[in-house]
Structure 1
Amino acid sequence: MSPNEFIAKWKGGGEEKRDAQSFFDDLCRLVGHKTPREADPEHTWFTYEYGVGKAGGGKGFADAWMKNRFGWEAKSTGRDLKEAYVQLKMYADELQNPPLLVVSDLRTIEIHTNFTNTVKEVHRFTVEDLADPAVLRKVRAMFHNPDELRPGILRSDITREAARKFAGLAGTLRGRGHPPQKVAHFLNRLVFCMFAEDIGLLQDNLFTRMVEGSQDDPDAFEENARQLFRAMHMGGRAAFVPVAWFNGGLFDDDSTLRFEREELRVLLGACQLSWDQIDPSIFGTLFERGLDPSSRAQLGAHYTDPDTIMKLIKPVLVEPWLAEWDAEKSILQPLMDKADTKGSRRGESPSVKGARTTAFNQAKQRVADFLDRLRAFTVLDPACGSGNFLFMSLRALKDLEQRIMIEAEEMGVPRQILGVNPRQVLGIEINEYAAELARITIWIGELQWMIQNGYGARRDPILLPLEQIQCRDALVNADGSEADWPAADVIVGNPPFIGGNKMRSELGPAYTTHVRRLYAGRVSSGADFVCFWFEKAREAIVAKRTKRAGLVATNSIRHGKNRKALDRIKNGLHIFAAWSSLEWWDNETPVDVSLIAFGPSPSPVGLLDDVVVPEITSSLTPLLHHDIAKAKVLASNKGRSFQGVIPRAELKRAKRVRLGLDLPEATFNLDGCVARRMLQGPATPLGEPVASVVRPYLIADDITDRPYDRYIVNFGSRDMAAASMFAGPFDAVANVRLHREHMDERNDRESWWQLSRWRPKMVAALEPLTRYIAIPRHSKHYICAWVHPAVLPDSAVVVVARDDDAFFGMLHSRIHRAWALRQGSELENRPRYTPSSSFDTFPFPNGMTPDVSAADLEAMPTARKIAEAARQLVQARDGWLNPDAWAEWKDDVVAEFPKRVVARPGHEKDLAGRTLTSLYNDPPAWLTALHDALDQAVAEAYGWEWPLDDEEILRRLFELNAERQGGAANQAREEAEDEDDA
């Protein structure tokens, strides 16, 4: 069909029911595409009436739909297309969020772009306009290549540019000595003025004209701004232009700050941005950083992207309401069928008419009651930051309200006025900047929604006061008592990310000590900061002050002592939706998080990582036949695995900056050449050799990479007088004192020359051995290695006090690896091996537990088979790492220390590439075969067939753990976990 033929046929428009599909078929022919019936007889990707029966309404989701292209809604000529667009937009999720939403009255066509994170564009044209090739190309793109219509500007780009400009203005004003809060409040007013102007709430470009007219007259700008703010406070006039009543607390007075000419030019540039297209989901965070870059640094604030936020809001808020609405529609539809408001009335008896009226009134009242409940529904974010979760929750509630009213209207129930409002979202935020920005984010977000959906802004006032966004600590009151949270129907949010071992440095020792004491017995000692929010949300649900909760945490929430927060939730409640480890980008930095929705549920079935599972465990794994998070510490395993030493030589940089300290570098470490000169020096006046306090030092990279040739000064338990006898080593660590005197722990301050954690129990356990097993705590690959007993391990290494090959083989088997990494914690999406969880709970084969001696193991045929497989693996691996042609071994200056490997001349680069990480990145066939043989031997010791998948391995190990006696060892497990991460 040619454009002229199409125009001739349809320039007069048509009726929806009679002509809509014929019009669409002709549009397909116009652009050279098959019609839905020709292209897709199975109705799977291109069809009419897509979604009929799913929405519960009479029309279905869309009059036409093409997967990954568009949704199409048609009306009769002359009908308002706003309603068609609102309806189509409401069903965008069910339409799989196509990039284009198209509406038409069979004479006019509007193509609304719907690309993620782009500025929305509307292409509007009539049938006659299709004679223009440029317009016709847009219709072709709609069917064949929607990306041709993708807007070039991203909403996030506009928001970032706006934030950048205001960050510069904020810095200038703060540099003049204005209080930060006053600066932020003033700039927030300007931000809102520009937004209000672009959406038409400030008439005649009033604010931009005011800025333009004051470019060379800062005094005039200051006076004009005062006049405008006074008018926005209660309504009035500014520069003879009527100004509506805004206030809401933002325009509570007429105070201003002075801008000089250069700042006024920057402000004018900001006025040119499309403020109506600002993205509220990132607006608050970006402006918070700009207006006060340090405002949430101490709380580890992370920007949460909108898609991630909705993953939680849907199961916690949206889906329960939709389920209730589906149930309500099943009652409403029979009532409206009985009311039959469009049926014939001739000859109708009074009783029939009365029954019809009663049914109609009942249906109308039920819809009103349902909407009243929705309009009373509240959402709390107890760490709301700049309001992302609150804005997204409010938008979800408004979308629900609109959907309910449209679908009720389709049944014949008259539509009501909107009632969902910003007062339904409650927040707690400790930072004043963020709290005010949260209010602005909510205001802007609601106004955008109202205008985009054709409702316009409320009036008198335009901005509702939002006192329910409280500025206070969510955990502790000013008097030191535990803080209460306001009652709310659901709790959602992204609490601050601070590791348990960083709380003292980030939040201060006094606050950390107090909050841990206040929540003792409920939140594990040493748990991450976020765990306090999970516990308080759990308590609110149990106390029936809230129904459900959905919170974001770093993915360490599912491991170790942090997991106890989820264990408490699982004791009486269910985790009904979770994403175990999800990555998104925050300020160009990847952050790995877990999302967890929990509450009472009639069934343990849950959605885990978008897959329905029988139950979600506290380790955020599916419960198939076992929950290894409940495995017990085994008495036979205790006292064999240890975390290495923690030197703690330097004060953390953040604290140095906070205290204004300029301190020299300090360390307990020595480079190899320095240490060897020191080791060749004289003994102490009492005859002790330097080697008794200077030892080779092992970090995780020495195992996974190449040896770093590093030593450490370890005075053990010696007092300062005894330590100072070793003149060279004592002088080498002298700067440590300057740092330690500012540290929180008393022992660090008073015994500054000693390692912070020198692990005397570990040292005693390793002393009689000929070698020990070392495992990096967190590395790309799970690896075991043999280490000489004279070498002191760092805290990033877990050591096992055994020197027999059989035990090495059991630890390096796939059977132990599966258990250890599932039980261990996680750091930045890398598995972490922990003594208490990974080793102490592991059920070794019967008769081969850690309390059995090496000699007894040697007498067992299955153990000898494991030992031989382990020896072959280590020998082959060591031969690959340090081939004789490239490497040679040199004696240390101390005979009792291990030999050092060095590259032969000309082979330095060759040897540098030989690391265990590179070997396991792409394991050669010989390595795989040796590991297979080892795994087979270990499985034989258990009496298992082989191979088995990981889930079956875990199930069997869990059952074996349950058979063993945990005994008193379990009482010390939490303390051990605290030591793991000290």
Structure 2
Amino acid sequence: MNAVEIEQALSDLAAQAFDGAEFPFQFLAAFGNKATTIQRLRKGDSNASDVAGGVLQRNHIHVAVAEPGQVGQTLTALKASAKTAQAKAKFILATDGTTLEAEELASGDAIACEFPQFPDHFGFFLPLAGISTIKEIKDNPIDVRATGRLNKLYVELLRENPDWATTARRPDMNHFMARLIFCFFAEDTDIFPGATLFTATVDKMTQPDGSNVHEVLSTIFLAMNTKTEDRAAAGIPRWAIEFPYVNGGLFSGNTDVPKFTRTARAYLYQAGKLDWREINPDIFGSMIQAVADDEERGALGMHYTSVPNILKVLNPLFLDDLRTQLETSGDNKIKLLNLRKRMAHIRVFDPACGSGNFLVVAYKQMREIEAEINRRRGEVEQPSEIPINNFRGIELRDFPAEIARLALIIAEFQCDVLYRGQKEALKDVLPLDSQNWITCGNALRLDWLAICPPTGTGVKLIGDDLFNTPQDQSEIDFQNEGGETYICGNPPYLGSRDQQEEQKSDLKHIFDRRVLNWKSLDYVCGWFLKAADYTTRTQSSVAFVSTNSICQGLQIPILWPEIFRVGCQIEMAHTSFRWANLASHNAGVTVIIVGISVRPRSPRRLFSIDKSGGTTERQCEHINAYLAAGGEVIVEKSGRPISEVSEMTFGNMPIDGGYLLLSRADREGLGLSCSQQRRFTRRIVGSAEFIRGTMRYCLWIKDDHLKEALDIAPIAQRIGEVRKLRLTGGKTARDLADRPHQFQRTHGSEYSTLVVPRVSSESREFLPCGYEPADTVVSDAAFASYDAPLWNMALIASRLHIVWIAAVCGQLETRIRYSNTLGWNTFPVPTLTEQNKADLTTCAEEILLARENHFPATIADLYDPENMPEDLRRAHEKNDEVLERIYIGRKFKNDTERLEKLFDLYTKMTAGQAKPKKGKRT
């Protein structure tokens, strides 16, 4: 269940007559527990509670219904219960149907409330559904509640008005929802006269069956688009006269309203009864946009971009600088005035703004700084000099674009109330500004200089139909002559394989004739290059959230040379972290933050998440495209090692449709003698087999054994199927059709093979690698170095090497992805003496012996970070120390220092080598 569904279920439960015997089971059902789970608890099969009236769900919660007036004592008993600790319960809860108390045991956070109000605290309990809670949701549930109510209304209206669900009318439907949101907010914040003007009018003037709701709402909307002096001529009825003139484009144009049912009218009334004063425009928008998207509605309430994550972008981009200037200004009124003037000219531009999260957070943070300036200058009632039309955005879809503009309007009013008072805020809020600062369109096709011009005057908006804005809209003075522009946001990622033809065309429009191999780039790269071009024409800096793949592996030599060529450098960066949302059992996508500028500030700032989960900052002179401290360096693929190490190749590729591969049962089913098994089959290992120790086999038939093998019917049948498959395949497969008994490659070793899996879990501290006997086949799911000396394994098993691989080869999500040409062949190793090799050989032997001590534990068992054997860990630590002393005479302090040394050494070792051109076409 998602957050919206849970909130509704708890609200329904609180509205029912309290049933003490059923409450614990009803409560658990509200969080999506299956009926079978509830039944086992009800029967007592899995209920180990030792508290009277208690129900204990292991790893989740211990609930008990108390005697009247005994809630506090019952909660104390639950906390003291031995069963609570044994079952590792996260929460305890006690209620008598009149009051309710609960505690989250790990944090000590607690709630106490009247029973009917406990749904207000639904965010407190979201971990019970596997949903990571976020502080804003815990503190203020209105955003999720409003989303749920509006979603019910939206779905019911589309059911009754199927024509409004068509492509042609969906914008009208979304515009209607934006109008409703404004009306709900306006009546609860006194923008409308009377605390319940909108809801009360609808309740009074409409039929219970909903048959005339559309007419009443249409009349209200018309009134709000008509100036007071024009209302008589427009035929506005007396009952609608109280509604103020709003304009601003929100109520202009088509005033059609979908038809309502009795149910839809009830949903409208329920939404109006919520207290919309506390709506958070910086999180509400990203939730409500899911209401209007059929594909996203299933994840309702999960579309949440957390404010702390947004500030990871905005703080180092420009907010930290503003706060530093505020601090250094002290109480100097001239310096404070200069800062306020500077802020009035700052433009914040999000060219993929969605529902406006980044723009709203930036606006609210700047208003907070401005309010402190005004306080120090004794001008607390000073109107804000920060115009919201300096917060510009581009959004492809119409509804999020409408919500973005509405969110900024709400944020502006809330900030005025907070910093200037209700009276002053109401004085300036209406009529709304009719200028349009959120453009609906394709950001990769639009001219950013026209949408967010460098001078702020003399440029018309690109025409669009947002809020029915006319194409010939007048010029807008953004009040930012000579000001700074900060580009930020979280553009769509879309890897190359996930892009549709339209996205490929967008990238071609930007990269073609400039960059080779651009088809391999993630979609987000289009925003980076457009932003880089923009910075060459304006006083601006950029910081985008992105997938980490654009700063790893093969995308680096495609994208970053062009960004550097136009003059941009990386000014700040945040290495990989999880961009959290409210999705159940989902910590979010792995992202980075990269900031670029043609005039980067010094020192550069490099952020990362430490082992404790906190953020650390390192200041440095330069940041390279791998998000490591150091000068510009691009690691290119190499066909052979740049260091004196053994060659490494892909394992053997079958191209067989599975017919040359055998399970243990398949092998036994061939009916071979022991000598035939040795002659015609071999064990095969790829990444999974090597790491997990699973046994797989393959047919491995030499040409001089083929005639004998074909006399064995099951083998002959398999070979025949391979031949048929290859004959109907691509060119590579067809070229192999005349030898269907063999893999494409048939590499092997004389003594042993050093195996390195292609993909490995990021949770392991060391890369899994090791040796297999000469008669073991290595598949193309792993890399192989045939008859490699042991000291090569010492290099691969080192901390130095895994850090290098993670940086230059890239990762699948956060899993390590290995490459021989990009990772092993480029790995910079100093010239090793014979003594160095002997020392490293000893280290590798000790690692292998430590593994043997724990036979039959697999690599997966041995390298589980929680259960790694101490002798194996010591062997790796010794290996690291020996190797790192070879590099710098001591152990490295951290991975940052390791990468710096490796990039420096790589640069020196490849200096003067010819490299393939990756930049501009000739």
Cα distance in 2 between the residues matched to 1:332 and 1:939 = 55
For the pair 1:581 / 2:566, whether they are aligned, the reply is: no
Cα distance in 1 between the residues matched to 2:826 and 2:395 = 40
Moved more, 598-607 or 793-802: 793-802
SS in 2 for 1:379: strand
Cα distance in 2 between the residues matched to 1:970 and 1:502 = 27
Match of 1:961 in 2: 906
Match of 1:809 among 787, 791, 794: 794
For the pair 1:463 / 2:432, whether they are aligned, the reply is: yes
Contact 2:493–2:546 at 8 Å: present in 1 too?
Answer: no
With over 3 angstroms needed to count, the CA separation of the structure-2 counterparts of 1:468 and 1:772, relative to structure 1, is same
With over 3 angstroms needed to count, the CA separation of the structure-2 counterparts of 1:791 and 1:442, relative to structure 1, is farther
With over 3 angstroms needed to count, the CA separation of the structure-2 counterparts of 1:869 and 1:325, relative to structure 1, is closer
Deviations 1:169-228 (A, max 9, x none): 323333442223332222222222111111112233122123434362322211111111
Match of 1:881 in 2: 855
Cα distance in 2 between the residues matched to 1:434 and 1:919 = 44
Match of 1:498 in 2: 493
Contact 1:766–1:772 at 8 Å: present in 2 too?
Answer: no
- 1:198-277 aligned at under 5 Å gives the runs 198-204=188-194, 205-213=196-204, 214=206, 216-235=208-227, 239-252=239-252, 253-277=254-278
Contact 1:628–1:958 at 8 Å: present in 2 too?
Answer: no
Match of 1:866 in 2: 840
Match of 1:388 in 2: 357
Following superposition, the deviation at residue 263 of structure 1 comes to 1.8
Cα distance in 2 between the residues matched to 1:567 and 1:457 = 52
Cα distance in 2 between the residues matched to 1:384 and 1:706 = 48
Cα distance in 2 between the residues matched to 1:943 and 1:196 = 67
Moved more, 913-922 or 548-557: 913-922
Match of 1:358 in 2: none
Match of 1:763 in 2: 745
Following superposition, the deviation at residue 774 of structure 1 comes to 1.6
One-letter code aligned to 1:700: S
Contact 1:422–1:464 at 8 Å: present in 2 too?
Answer: no
Cα distance in 2 between the residues matched to 1:297 and 1:798 = 41
With over 3 angstroms needed to count, the CA separation of the structure-2 counterparts of 1:620 and 1:257, relative to structure 1, is same
Cα distance in 2 between the residues matched to 1:953 and 1:582 = 20
Following superposition, the deviation at residue 806 of structure 1 comes to 3.0
Deviations 1:352-406 (A, max 9, x none): xxxxxxxxxxxxxx94x87565434322101001110111222233334433333
Deviations 1:412-464 (A, max 9, x none): xx975334332111111111222122122212222222223313246585322
With over 3 angstroms needed to count, the CA separation of the structure-2 counterparts of 1:528 and 1:874, relative to structure 1, is same
Cα distance in 2 between the residues matched to 1:648 and 1:512 = 35
Contact 1:805–1:870 at 8 Å: present in 2 too?
Answer: yes
For the pair 1:399 / 2:368, whether they are aligned, the reply is: yes
Contact 2:562–2:919 at 8 Å: present in 1 too?
Answer: no
Contact 1:578–1:620 at 8 Å: present in 2 too?
Answer: no
SS in 1 for 2:355: coil
Match of 1:606 in 2: 605
Following superposition, the deviation at residue 796 of structure 1 comes to 5.9
Cα distance in 1 between the residues matched to 2:278 and 2:654 = 52
Contact 1:608–1:620 at 8 Å: present in 2 too?
Answer: no
Contact 2:156–2:263 at 8 Å: present in 1 too?
Answer: no
One-letter code aligned to 2:150: F
For the pair 1:287 / 2:284, whether they are aligned, the reply is: no
Following superposition, the deviation at residue 818 of structure 1 comes to 4.1
Match of 1:676 in 2: 667
The size of the alignment, in residue pairs, is: 700
Match of 2:153 among 165, 169, 187: 169
Following superposition, the deviation at residue 840 of structure 1 comes to 2.4
Cα distance in 2 between the residues matched to 1:679 and 1:973 = 52
With over 3 angstroms needed to count, the CA separation of the structure-2 counterparts of 1:170 and 1:919, relative to structure 1, is closer
Deviations 1:66-100 (A, max 9, x none): xxxxxxxxxxxxxxxxxxxxxxxxxxxxxxxxxxx
Contact 1:778–1:796 at 8 Å: present in 2 too?
Answer: no
Cα distance in 2 between the residues matched to 1:765 and 1:419 = 72
Match of 2:868 among 907, 923, 935: 923
- 1:536-615 aligned at under 5 Å gives the runs 536-544=530-538, 546-563=539-556, 565=559, 572-588=567-583, 589-591=586-588, 592-599=590-597, 600-601=599-600, 603-606=602-605, 608-609=607-608, 610-615=616-621
For the pair 1:442 / 2:442, whether they are aligned, the reply is: no
Deviations 1:524-579 (A, max 9, x none): 552322222222222211222x4112221233343224445566656754544432
With over 3 angstroms needed to count, the CA separation of the structure-2 counterparts of 1:394 and 1:865, relative to structure 1, is closer
Match of 2:176 in 1: 186
With over 3 angstroms needed to count, the CA separation of the structure-2 counterparts of 1:668 and 1:242, relative to structure 1, is farther
One-letter code aligned to 1:816: H
One-letter code aligned to 2:383: I
Contact 1:774–1:786 at 8 Å: present in 2 too?
Answer: no
Match of 2:623 in 1: 617
Cα distance in 2 between the residues matched to 1:937 and 1:326 = 48
Following superposition, the deviation at residue 229 of structure 1 comes to 0.8
With over 3 angstroms needed to count, the CA separation of the structure-2 counterparts of 1:604 and 1:567, relative to structure 1, is farther
Match of 1:700 among 683, 687, 694: 687
- For the pair shown, the structure with the greater C-alpha radius of gyration is 1
Following superposition, the deviation at residue 615 of structure 1 comes to 2.9
Deviations 1:715-764 (A, max 9, x none): xxxxxxxxxx9755786999999xx9xxxxxx979979999xx9x99936
Match of 1:159 in 2: 143
With over 3 angstroms needed to count, the CA separation of the structure-2 counterparts of 1:772 and 1:424, relative to structure 1, is same
Cα distance in 1 between the residues matched to 2:788 and 2:668 = 31
With over 3 angstroms needed to count, the CA separation of the structure-2 counterparts of 1:507 and 1:222, relative to structure 1, is same
Contact 2:347–2:392 at 8 Å: present in 1 too?
Answer: yes
Following superposition, the deviation at residue 471 of structure 1 comes to 1.4
TM-score, structure 1 as length reference = 0.61
With over 3 angstroms needed to count, the CA separation of the structure-2 counterparts of 1:863 and 1:507, relative to structure 1, is same
One-letter code aligned to 1:559: Q
Cα distance in 1 between the residues matched to 2:731 and 2:265 = 52
Following superposition, the deviation at residue 647 of structure 1 comes to 10
Match of 2:395 in 1: 429
Following superposition, the deviation at residue 927 of structure 1 comes to 1.4
Contact 2:550–2:556 at 8 Å: present in 1 too?
Answer: yes
Match of 1:820 in 2: 805
With over 3 angstroms needed to count, the CA separation of the structure-2 counterparts of 1:846 and 1:314, relative to structure 1, is closer
- 1:833-844 aligned at under 5 Å gives the runs 833-844=818-829
Following superposition, the deviation at residue 938 of structure 1 comes to 4.5
Deviations 1:899-937 (A, max 9, x none): xxxxxxxxxxxx6x8844555543323213433454466
For the pair 1:846 / 2:831, whether they are aligned, the reply is: yes
Contact 1:772–1:802 at 8 Å: present in 2 too?
Answer: yes
SS in 1 for 2:580: strand
SS in 2 for 1:230: helix
Following superposition, the deviation at residue 637 of structure 1 comes to 0.8
Deviations 1:810-849 (A, max 9, x none): 322344334334444244444443434432221234268x
Match of 2:525 in 1: 531
TM-score, structure 2 as length reference = 0.65
With over 3 angstroms needed to count, the CA separation of the structure-2 counterparts of 1:154 and 1:729, relative to structure 1, is farther
RMSD: 4.9
For the pair 1:775 / 2:743, whether they are aligned, the reply is: no
Contact 1:560–1:824 at 8 Å: present in 2 too?
Answer: yes
Deviations 1:221-278 (A, max 9, x none): 1111111111111245662441112232221232100121112222222112111111
Cα distance in 1 between the residues matched to 2:358 and 2:136 = 27
